[in-house]
A and B are shown apart, each in its own frame.
Chain A
């Protein structure tokens, strides 16, 4: 089955700097790659997703890139703000299989 590895597990950045989180997946049939943000006491919230027919997608300060050949995808957050502090999860799915999540990255933005 699918296996998703996520790095780093923790990340601290200064406010205004960029943050990058990387994930790799194992199943070449996977074609959907969402990213979720989870704040304390809440469930994960979708922040951006990308499908395998697209190499990059951007939404304001957030962007995701996908390299299907290398089976990795990344989340980029620019101009980080304290409210970006949370746990971020990548995930992958394909065909009729459920979403498989990475173990998460705890991002701390230091003011």
Chain B
């Protein structure tokens, strides 16, 4: 069974630009969550999607947005990039229960210069 696939693995962007990250969940998983990982803040929850609807949202500014498609694949978008957005962005898929284990991809490393 293929794991969670995130593309691209690495991205370098300039301040003010926007970026779109992609996530393909494990087959059969309909819930997709996104986390931002930084050395100082650890893993912080961005949002969760289930059946193309945002089910939960973390405490991030509106520049961070996401969506989910009918095949459960998900994208997240960050507009007007800031230096502080440099991080590892992790996508995780699961069955849609809060006690269902999250299965993480290897992340997209975003560097903003």
B90 CB–A CB distance under 8 Å: yes
Number of A-B contacts (CB under 8 A): 52
Task: Report how many residues on chain B are interfacial, defined by Cβ distance under 8 Å.
Answer: 21
Q: Which residues of B contact A51 (CB under 8 A)?
A: 99
B56 touches A43 (CB 8 A): no
Which chain B residue has the least Cβ–Cβ distance from A31? B99
Interface string of A32-49 (1 = CB under 8 A from B): 101010000111111001
Q: How far is the CA of A43 from the CA of B92 in the complex (A)?
A: 9
A94 touches B106 (CB 8 A): no
What is the distance, in angstroms, from B102's C-beta to the closest C-beta of chain A? 6
B residues in contact (CB < 8 Å) with A: 4, 33, 35, 42-43, 45, 48, 55-56, 58, 90, 92, 98-99, 101-107
Q: Which residues of B contact A102 (CB under 8 A)?
A: 42
Q: How far is the CA of A32 from the CA of B98 in the complex (A)?
A: 8
A 31-74 contacts with B by CB, 8 A: 31-32, 34, 36, 41-46, 49, 51
Decide: A98 near B48, CB < 8 A? Known: A43-B4, A44-B90, A103-B42: yes
